[in-house]
Structure formats: structure tokens, C-alpha cells
Amino acid sequence: MLETRFPRFPGDIGNATTFDFPVRHKVVKGASGDRAVKVDLTLLDSFIEAGKELEGEGVRAITTSAGFLSIFQNVMAEALDVPVFTSSLLQIPMIRKILKPNKRIGIIASNKNMLDEKHLSPVGIEDMGALIIEGMENEPVWRKRLEYTPADLASLSTLRTEVEQAVVRICSRMVQTNRDVGAIVFECTNLPPFSKAVQEATGRPVFDIVTLTKLVHNALEPGCYRGYM
């Protein structure tokens, strides 16, 4: 986990109620949102150390709370002994295979100006032409939420509604402008609380860090199927 103070709504990877299975959060000291977005490479050792601590505590898979940390994917996977998936962007090669060849994938990033090949190549993305990238950086409410803390309980419901409206607006505009967008991927781990609203507004499947986390969990803990033939 990044070291942040802003509220994390249900659906955010930093909110334990997002999942119906046990999760454990470990904060990486000094790993601010700004350092993660700019991919401060000096953070790598701290994330590996946190991952090893989690391994020692018995966790069976490890993710992060910043999609931009895809740049650490290969090194962290090599350093740790449990499955590591640093970013929702890991799903893109799979999504390319399930869409028609003439369809593109829309990525919503916390800041589109900071997302480029150095984040995409480590997770197996080579064809930038198959992507449309939009960002939340110009939405005032997206920046406003960073000023809140969990103590601002009375106004959090209003804040959530305003953020959801902004996310839906960005995504709807993207698919209206680019009708060939066949699926949407949220880079930012703070966006999944709004996946349902975006799917309903756009008609496109929405992939995020929660869909990926649930996929990994289901592989580690397959369902027990009982019934009658």
C-alpha cells in the first residue's frame, strides 16, 4: 500500500470490505502517490521488503495499490515466492485476445500524461496503437478528494457521488469519441468503486485491480462444486 490519507471507498483496493475473502494491508513508508505515479525507482527495495514481510505472515499472493508500479512487475515477481501482480494493466494482453482484432482498449489512468511504454512493456503490452488512454488529472474533484481524510465522514457520500460522476463523464466521452473501444481498463486502484456505474453508462466490460485480484484468489482457492448429474 502507498502511504496515503485520503478516504478509500468500498471497491478501492485499500478498503478491506471490497473483498469477500481475507486480505492484509501493509503500508510502504514514504511511498507517496506522487512518488508512485512518477515511479521513483528508489522505492523498489521497500516494496520488495514489504512483500517479503507479507510472505512471512502467510499471504498467498501480493498486489499493490498503484497501477503505475507495473514497472516493478518483473523484478518483484522474481524476488518473491508467491504470485505477484502489481497492476491491473496485466489484464490487457488477455483482453486483446477476447476482443475483435479491430477493437481497442480504453485505459483510464490517474494521470494519462505519466503513463507510457515503460509501464506497459513490463506487463506484456507492445502495441500502443491498440490503446486509448484518458486520465483523471484535469477533474477538480479528483484532486479535491486527496484533501479529505476518513474523519470527513459527513461529506464523504457527496464526495463519492461527485467523483463517480466525473469518472463516468470521462469514460462516456472516451467511448463516444472512439466507438472502437471494446473494453475499459482502470489503471488506478482508486477507480473500481465506480466500475459498475461506468459499465452501465458505456455498455463496455470494465477491468480493474479488483477483477484481477479476484481472478488470482479464485485460482488459489477454487470453488468446491457440488450438484447432481
pLDDT for residue 150: 64
Average pLDDT value over all residues in the chain: 92
- Indicate the DSSP class of residue 12: B
**23-70 pLDDT, tens digit each:** 999 999 988 888 877 778 888 999 999 999 999 999 999 999 999 999
How many C-beta neighbours within 10 Å does residue 109 have? 23
Domains of the chain: 16-87+215-220 (no CATH), 88-208 (3.40.50.1860)
Helix (H, G, I), strand (E, B) or coil at 101: coil
**What φ, ψ does residue 185 adopt, rounded to 5°?**
-120, 125
Strands (E), 5-145: 62-63, 84-85, 104-109, 131-135
Cα–Cα dist 136/88, whole Å: 17
**61-106 pLDDT, tens digit each:** 999 999 999 999 999 999 999 999 999 999 999 999 999 999 999 9
**112-159 pLDDT, tens digit each:** 999 888 899 988 888 878 999 999 999 999 988 888 776 676 688 888
**159-171 pLDDT, tens digit each:** 899 999 999 999 9
Cα–Cα dist 161/150, whole Å: 16
Rg (CA), the chain: 17
